[in-house]
A = this chain, B = another copy of it.
Amino acid sequence: MADGIGLARAAIEPALPEERVAKFIRTLRQRFSFSDEEQQQLISRMGGEAFFHKGDTLVDEGEWIEYSSLLFSGYACREKIDREGNRQIVEIQIPGDFVDLHSYPMEQLDHAITALTDCRIVKLYHKEIDDLIDKHPRFARLLWFSTIVDTSIHREWILNLGSRAGSQRMGHFLCEMYCRMEVVGLVEDGRYDLPLTQKDLGEALGFTPIHVNRTLKKLRSLGLADFRNQKVTIDDFDALADHCGFDASYLYLTPRKK
């Protein structure tokens, strides 16, 4: 595991994991200067792949965790279940996301991570992170940053659930996914995949599936967004963003100004 080639060898498909890992690194590079050598330092420490089927649990609540998983294909979500069995989706994970980097400091999660589609992940063992930080302390701040973006996304969801209603709450969610998908090259002609049912959408947004249906109908009739067959089409992103007061700065996707 001296370099990225080890990863390619381990791949089941001909796809090069480096390309997917690069999605994650590209996001980081938008905020931090990052030498090629540092990039190699990180990639070389990643090793071991795993495959999950739709519906599988990638990480279970309370499970003892030794490595973090970088999602390089497929979609997953983080979810919490309350006493009555209500499911709340708290975040959607897309290719290029480290789905549980926060398990490095945390060691056990308070929520489960479930595959929304078949998924492939690359592992980064926590002992490798220890070693990486030991030798290159700068990585602490860098990897830490990437977990803190999730915190920011959570805060915006709190705002979304607490302060926005109906089509604005829904539209805001679709805007967020649009922006996140775009940086990893998964938006084409205003379209992207969103492998959720209307029931799932309801569980993310605090709506009943019936209300989700009506909300989507409204956005469609306003010409702002269309969700059909697990695909989202947004012809005029700015119009939708304006409709729901979406401002992408909480996603920390743009370079810092300083």
Contact = CB atoms under 8 A, between A and B. Distances in A.
Interface residues of A, number: 53
A144 to B, nearest CB: 4
Contacts of A229: none
Given A147-B148, A154-B154, A206-B162, A141 B90 contact: no
Interface in A92-112: 102, 104-108, 110-111
Given A110-B156, A110-B249, 15 more contacts: A62-B249, A82-B245, A83-B245, A102-B151, A104-B141, A105-B141, A105-B142, A106-B252, A133-B133, A137-B137, A144-B147, A151-B154, A158-B158, A161-B206, A162-B204
Contact of A163 (B148, B206, B247, B252): B206
Nearest to A126: B141
Contact of A144 (B86, B140, B258): B140
B250 A163 contact: no
Given A111-B155, A137-B134, A88 B147 contact: no
Contacts of A60: none
A140 B133 contact: yes
Interface of A: 62, 64, 78, 80, 82-84, 86, 88, 90, 102, 104-108, 110-111, 130, 133-134, 137, 140-142, 144-145, 147-148, 150-152, 154-159, 161-164, 203-206, 245, 247, 249-250, 252, 256, 258
A148 B159 CA distance: 19
B106 A145 contact: yes
A165 to B, nearest CB: 10
Instruction: Count this chain's copies in the assembly.
Output: 2
A241 to B, nearest CB: 10
B82 A164 contact: yes
User: When A and B form their complex, which 4 residue pairs have the shortest distance between CB atoms, in order from nearest?
Assistant: A162-B206, A140-B140, A154-B154, A83-B245
Contacts of A83: 245, 247
A89 to B, nearest CB: 8
B159 A158 contact: no
A204 B159 CA distance: 9
Contacts of A247: 83
